[in-house]
Amino acid sequence: MDKIYIRDLEFIGYHGVFEEEKKLGQKFFVSLELATNLREAGLNDDITKTTHYGEVAETVKKVFFQKKYDLIETLAEDIAREVLLNYPLISELKLEIKKPWAPVGIPLKDVSVEITRKWNEVYISLGSNMGNKKENLERAIKEIANIKDTFIIKESKIIETEPFGYKEQDDFLNSCIGIKTLLTPREILKELLSIEKKMGRERKIKWGPRIIDLDIIFYGKEVIEEDDLIVPHPYMEYREFVLKPLEEIIPNFVHPLLLKRVSTLKKELENENN
């Protein structure tokens, strides 16, 4: 990935936990490393195919002076978010804020924080077998589209499938969507659980009837193994209701653990069931 660097933008700001810092002000340096694709701009000498670093600097300045922050950590988050939201050619950034006059009582060169933030592609499975199933899926997709810093980029057709595991229940309607988001895996999980709760989901029987079921299938190529969050979703390779709509939108995506394309996993499952 190509990079654009903006180093040591210098500001006098009024950020800090201590009241004197907010009154007297002090020096700050802000640096950015922007990941982007510069090939087309370079080949065609076309400024519209790249990110205007002067405009990015002005965006940093706007956020820097919009309010007084206690923590430069929070200032860094706000700058990173504003840059990623406003400059679509930037896929990832590294941001450092240095505070050379930090009041720590010991001589030092500076104190700094550095964060890396990026757009992430996440794939979510949706299912419903209670009430108006189609309306349930459509409402859930609208709720996901309203999550902060999140945009729907792909959406499969809705399919009907037999229940998995617990058979004494109605058939399901299922679909998959792809989203582009700045949220972390745990933040996305929290939002999905909130939507399920808002829509009236109750967890009474394992694999039982549900008004809505929302599962993270892939979060980019990340592998996460925590007590309440496992990504890629376990056993997805055995579930037609996941693989069929998923193949429609990302057939060539490679499972980071199984090292097989989604289309291959679906074909293998079909062969096992025949």
Task: Tell me the three-class secondary structure of 202-257, residue by residue.
Answer: CCCCCCCCCCCEEEEEEECCCCEEECCEEECCCCHHHCHHHHHHHHHHCCCCECCC
Phi-psi bin for 119: left (phi > 0), alpha (psi -120 to 50), beta? beta
For 226-272, what is each residue's pLDDT tens digit? Answer: 989 999 999 899 999 999 999 999 999 999 999 999 999 999 999 98
Give me the domains of the chain, ranges plus CATH numbers: 2-118 (3.30.1130.10), 120-273 (3.30.70.560)
Count of CB atoms situated within 10 Å of the CB of 188: 23
Catalytic site positions:
99
- Rounded to 10 deg, the angle between the 185-198 and 133-145 helix axes is 140
Q: Are 188 and 155 in contact (CB under 8 A)?
A: no
Residue-by-residue pLDDT tens, the chain, 274 positions: 899 999 999 999 999 998 888 899 999 999 999 999 999 999 999 999 999 999 999 999 999 999 999 999 999 999 999 999 999 999 999 999 999 998 888 988 999 999 999 999 999 999 999 889 999 999 999 999 999 999 999 999 999 987 765 566 688 899 999 999 999 999 999 999 999 999 987 766 555 678 999 999 999 999 999 989 999 999 899 999 999 999 999 999 999 999 999 999 999 999 988 7
